[in-house]
């Protein structure tokens, strides 16, 4: 297992040093790709976070700070982040993580709340750097996919790719199956448009019920906001599926790697 890469702070807005912009090397490998995309594929961070790193003067080539994320390269030779050399991208990998409630989907929290990375450092100390595919709220539990490949992360998160996410919500209040079925047409709440949601009332005990919801957008707190709009109070929320990958069989707090064959097959289905 390769040594763990240092953690980078995407929120560092220190000023960029004034330096000449290095030219991209030519290569027989083709026209190359933007540096933000290459670093994302190498698992450094998301494209947006990498752009912030570049603005902060933290990314360099042969010791000279890179000043624009539009820089085109054919390899990562000579590229450093915070002075540390960046390795060429490893094959894309995915891990299933059963996130417990009470953990933030973040690298750090300035108020001291526990994060998924603190937990993963304990249960998988030798794992390479991983990034979450999407997020789960502090009190949401269940399947959180992790990857070492920023481009795969981006593909899976984009609404345009139509990757389905399934949740089970325990909610208090009254709702009919007809109301839930109307969500298939989408709904607008306080000016925010949510796309189609396939929702079904699984079972009910008194005024408590379990509702299964499948959607493709994954907007911030989407499931909770939609159910609250219907007059329900969510007491527990679990993500059970992301694309073809299921939570089933994974203990709370545990992590395991998805088979390489399954990752390759799934990636071919992305638009």
* Cα-based torsion angle of the residue sequence 157, 159, 161, 166 in order, rounded to the nearest 10 degrees: 70
Residue 5 in contact with residue 129, Cβ under 8 Å?
yes
Q: Spot the catalytic one: 9, 12, 62, 137.
A: 137
Q: Give the span between the Cα atoms of 80 and 78, in whole angstroms.
A: 6
Token pair in block for residue 186:
């989408």
Residue 33 in contact with residue 89, Cβ under 8 Å?
no
222-238 residues labelled b (16+ CB within 10 A) or e (exposed):
bbbbbbeebebebeebb
Identify whether 137 is a catalytic site residue. yes
DSSP 115: B
- Cβ atoms within 10 A of the Cβ of 108, count? 13
The residues annotated as belonging to the active site are: 137
């Amino acid at each position: 297992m390769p040594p763990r890469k240092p953690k980078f702070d995407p929120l560092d807005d220190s000023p960029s040093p004034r330096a000449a912009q290095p030219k991209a090397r030519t290569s027989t490998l083709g026209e190359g790709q933007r540096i933000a995309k290459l670093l994302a594929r190498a698992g450094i961070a998301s494209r947006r976070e990498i752009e912030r790193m570049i603005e902060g003067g933290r990314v360099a080539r042969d010791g000279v700070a890179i000043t624009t994320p539009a820089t085109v390269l054919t390899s990562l030779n000579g590229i450093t982040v915070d002075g540390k050399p960046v390795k060429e991208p490893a094959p894309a990998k995915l891990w299933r993580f059963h996130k417990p409630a009470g953990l933030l989907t973040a690298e750090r929290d300035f108020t001291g709340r526990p994060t998924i990375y603190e937990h993963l450092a304990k249960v998988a100390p030798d794992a390479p750097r991983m990034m979450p595919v999407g997020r789960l709220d502090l009190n949401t539990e269940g399947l959180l996919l992790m990857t070492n490949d920023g481009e795969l992360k981006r593909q899976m998160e984009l609404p345009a790719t139509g990757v389905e996410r399934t949740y089970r919500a325990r909610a208090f209040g009254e709702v009919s199956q007809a109301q839930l079925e109307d969500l298939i047409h989408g709904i607008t709440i306080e000016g925010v448009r949510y796309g189609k949601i396939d929702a079904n009332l699984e079972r009910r005990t008194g005024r408590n019920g379990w509702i299964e919801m499948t959607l493709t957008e994954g907007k911030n707190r989407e499931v909770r906001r939609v159910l609250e709009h219907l007059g329900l109070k969510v007491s527990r929320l679990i993500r059970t599926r992301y694309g073809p990958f299921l939570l089933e069989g994974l203990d709370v707090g545990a992590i395991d790697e998805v088979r390489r064959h399954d990752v390759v097959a799934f990636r071919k289905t992305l638009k």
